């Protein structure tokens, strides 16, 4: 199938960017935060303008300005190179991809390292969940793409790291309520406060929705607690606890193209007949400790937690997959780990050299069971046991990194030895013994060099190697219907190159441009997906080439413009045949739009009042490797938001309103890559609204 968006999708957004850049001369007031400080990528606090990598920060102000604080898509749409598909399905979570990594994930996030306050929100095999990031307590979100991501180990096609806020200032309590379309209701309570010695944050929320589509209602409860103390002038300790509870979240599954066209709110009959649903119970505790020893710094963290999931699938009664593995997934996971890191400035050389050495240890252990999803003729209930095993994933990664500023030059270099072992202890006698283990190891180097042509114009080159291990879910089933664990699945290995420019066009605007190329071997792709089971195999070589452009611009005293544009050409470089599957050289990788553009125009006429119009364009998205099935069409949508805030003595009151999809466009918000039942499409909502009010009291 020819790509009808190639070419024109690139010219139009670039011409728009050029026109906007030429308008920066009218800027009058410096309101845009051009150079926020980040630690992702270097471990050393550095201005994003001085880091030789594609690194963006979403600030707390952006996170709370007219946003619902529910989905990661609210935050990351403004970051070039990142695609978040809001599938409106809380049973499956958001699919997130960076430069094409993670686009084919059947659920959650894979191929991207997800962290919260330095603590992994991804398992050692690379599977993460966006819902584990609590946006209500986020101080900022740092997003790293490109070769520098390899310093975070396997499955690091990118890094998304959220940092929670510290309690500061007078003690406060607050509450807010947000209402919206399709029965949406979110209630939020919080308290925080602190001084130079200690601080605390307490936060709790409940979100309910009937869902846009039929059979898609959800309830999500989140709690968060953080205490930080400074035992002395040289040390800091933070204790963090969070939970996520979702009970019987309905799963509307995907739609066929004809079903989507007939009724975008519809679900297939099996979803209701088997009452497809998912429950999650997640608790986690973490500790961060940091101490200065002269100019050096020791950083240490520990974490542990548990996660229980039970999911009811729609595998029809009598199919082999239901008889062998079952249509009910049930597991209890225990996980723990820690990081030890030493950051040492080196004064014996010219310039400013900092060397970081450290090691990360992570382990997750799943007590995994499978049951039939029927008892006799009663469907959607837990039936006979069909699977019983212990899956353990363990990783231990030492690494070293150097950050050297020497005159106009900045050099970053890193080396990591990644090791991930997957062990399976099969306790179920009926399907043969699938016990075994597989260990994946790689050494991944990265190198970046930046030159300051002027104080306001920096250019950089970056290169590195990375690898991506299979996840437990990808290894669970061998191609061809075999019950055996797929220990033959190999890791995908890649070599990445990037060249970029960072420019302050004037005091009120900044422009980032990056060109990248990624060569991957043994890409992990879908071999088949049927009866609730998806199996994977290693394809040949793939190639990703792309362009990312980010612009922040203060047009005038009260006007701000932000743009994020991505062009990505992701293709297979080999002809591939696996069973009946045929993939031709030059085919597009599914789940990856060729062009994405996000823009927002923000007007702040008065202190405490802001309003904005958002626009988003996304080109067509192929849904499977042959590119023969109907691609999800390109779309453009516009949103509007407003927020008002008033302060009266010790009280602060705010109101917000938001309207998404202003023009009520019909479009596919997300795709399920390679679905064997041709149910690739998940409809996005039509025009929808949110309105809320909040109050805060300072003691």
Q: Which helix (H) or strand (E) holds 474?
A: helix 472-475
* Residues in the chain with pLDDT values less than 70: 1-33, 431, 480-483, 528-533, 578-581
Name 53's Cβ contacts closer than 8 Å, sequence gap at least 6. Answer: 41, 144, 145, 146, 147, 148, 412, 448, 460, 462, 498, 500
Question: How confident is the model at residue 246, as a pLDDT?
Answer: 95
pTM of the model: 0.91
Question: How confident is the model at residue 12, as a pLDDT?
Answer: 37
What's the residue count for the chain?
699
Residue from 78, 68, 52 nearest 141 by CA: 78
Name 570's Cβ contacts closer than 8 Å, sequence gap at least 6. Answer: 100, 542, 543, 544, 545, 546, 588, 589, 592
CA distance 454 to 475: 50
The domains found in the chain, sorted by start residue, are 8-698 (2.40.170.20)
DSSP string across 390-405: EEEEEEEEEEEEEEEE
Torsion 67-69-74-79 (CA) sign: positive
Question: How confident is the model at residue 115, as a pLDDT?
Answer: 92
Contact between residue 150 and residue 444 where contact means Cβ atoms under 8 Å apart: yes
Question: How confident is the model at residue 674, as a pLDDT?
Answer: 84
Question: How confident is the model at residue 582, as a pLDDT?
Answer: 79
Question: How confident is the model at residue 376, as a pLDDT?
Answer: 92
Residue from 369, 361, 312, 320 nearest 339 by CA: 361
Residue from 109, 20, 99 nearest 473 by CA: 109
Residue from 122, 93, 87, 88 nearest 108 by CA: 93
Question: How confident is the model at residue 21, as a pLDDT?
Answer: 38
Question: How confident is the model at residue 432, as a pLDDT?
Answer: 73
CA distance 601 to 559: 7
Question: How confident is the model at residue 23, as a pLDDT?
Answer: 35
Question: How confident is the model at residue 29, as a pLDDT?
Answer: 38
Torsion 428-431-432-438 (CA) sign: negative
Q: Which helix (H) or strand (E) holds 618?
A: strand 609-618
pLDDT 10s digits, 344-402? 999 999 999 999 999 999 999 999 999 999 999 999 999 999 989 999 999 999 999 99
Question: How confident is the model at residue 126, as a pLDDT?
Answer: 85
pLDDT 10s digits, 1-41? 444 433 333 333 333 333 333 333 333 333 556 788 888 88
């Amino acid at each position: 199938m020819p790509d009808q968006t190639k070419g024109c999708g690139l010219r139009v957004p670039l011409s728009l960017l050029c026109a906007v850049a030429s308008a920066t001369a009218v800027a009058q007031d410096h309101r845009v935060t051009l150079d926020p400080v980040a630690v992702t990528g270097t471990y050393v606090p550095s201005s994003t303008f001085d880091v030789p990598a594609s690194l963006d920060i979403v600030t707390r102000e952006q996170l709370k300005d007219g946003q619902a604080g529910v989905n990661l898509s609210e935050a990351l749409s403004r970051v070039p190179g990142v695609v978040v598909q809001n599938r409106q399905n809380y049973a499956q979570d958001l699919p997130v991809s960076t430069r094409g990594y993670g686009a084919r994930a059947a659920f959650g996030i894979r191929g991207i390292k997800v962290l919260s306050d330095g603590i992994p929100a991804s398992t050692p095999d690379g599977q993460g969940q966006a819902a584990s990031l609590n946006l209500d307590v986020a101080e900022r979100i740092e997003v790293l793409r490109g070769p520098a991501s390899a310093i975070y180990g396997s499955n690091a096609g990118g890094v998304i790291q959220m940092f929670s806020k510290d309690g500061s200032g007078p003690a406060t309590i607050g509450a807010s309520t947000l209402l919206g379309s399709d029965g949406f209701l979110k209630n939020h309570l919080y308290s925080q406060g602190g001084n130079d010695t200690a601080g605390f944050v307490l936060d709790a929320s409940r979100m309910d929705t009937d869902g846009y589509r039929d059979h898609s209602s959800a309830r999500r409860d989140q709690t968060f607690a953080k205490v930080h103390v400074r035992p002395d002038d040289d040390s800091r300790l933070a204790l963090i606890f969070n939970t996520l509870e979702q009970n019987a979240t309905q799963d509307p599954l995907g739609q066929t193209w004809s079903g989507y066209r007939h009724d975008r709110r519809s679900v297939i009959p099996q979803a209701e007949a088997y009452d497809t649903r998912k429950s999650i119970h997640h608790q986690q505790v973490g500790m961060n400790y940091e101490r200065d020893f002269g100019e050096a710094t020791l950083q240490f963290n520990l974490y542990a937690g548990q996660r229980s999931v039970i999911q009811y699938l729609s595998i029809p009664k009598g199919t082999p997959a239901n008889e062998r593995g079952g249509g009910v997934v049930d597991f209890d996971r225990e996980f723990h780990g820690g990081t030890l890191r030493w950051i040492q400035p080196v004064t014996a050389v010219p310039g400013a050299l900092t060397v970081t050495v450290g090691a990360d240890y992570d382990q997750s252990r799943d007590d995994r069971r499978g049951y039939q999803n029927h008892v006799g003729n009663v469907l959607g209930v837990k039936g006979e046991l069909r699977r019983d095993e212990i899956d353990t994933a363990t990783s231990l990664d030492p690494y070293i990194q150097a950050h050297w500023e020497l005159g106009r030059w900045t050099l970053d270099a890193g080396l990591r030895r990644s090791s991930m072992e997957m062990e399976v202890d099969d306790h179920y006698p009926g399907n043969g013994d699938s016990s075994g283990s597989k260990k994946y190891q790689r050494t991944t180097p990265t190198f970046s060099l930046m030159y300051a042509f002027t104080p306001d114009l920096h250019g950089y080159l970056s290169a590195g190697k990375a690898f991506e291990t299979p996840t437990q879910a990808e290894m669970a089933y061998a191609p061809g219907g075999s019950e055996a664990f797929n220990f033959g699945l190999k890791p995908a290995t890649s070599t990445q190159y990037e060249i970029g420019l960072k420019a302050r066009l004037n005091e009120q605007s900044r422009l980032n441009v990056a060109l990248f190329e990624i060569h991957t071997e043994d890409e992990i792709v879908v071999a088949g997906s049927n009866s609730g089971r998806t199996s994977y195999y290693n394809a040949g070589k793939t190639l990703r080439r792309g362009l990312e452009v980010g612009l922040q611009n203060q047009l005038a005293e009260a006007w701000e413009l932000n743009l994020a544009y991505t062009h990505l050409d992701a293709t297979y470089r080999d002809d591939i045949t696996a069973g009946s599957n045929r993939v031709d050289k030059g085919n597009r990788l599914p789940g990856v739009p060729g062009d994405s553009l996000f823009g927002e125009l923000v007007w702040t006429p008065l202190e405490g009042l802001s309003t904005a119009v958002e626009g988003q364009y996304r080109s067509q998205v192929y849904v499977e490797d042959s590119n023969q099935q109907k691609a999800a069409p390109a779309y453009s949508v516009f949103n509007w938001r407003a927020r008002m805030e008033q302060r009266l003595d010790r009280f602060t009151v705010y109101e917000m309103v938001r309207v998404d999809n202003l023009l009520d466009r019909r479009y596919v918000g997300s795709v399920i890559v390679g679905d064997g039942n041709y149910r690739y499409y998940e409809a996005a909502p039509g025009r929808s609204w949110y309105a809320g009010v909040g109050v805060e009291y300072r003691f």
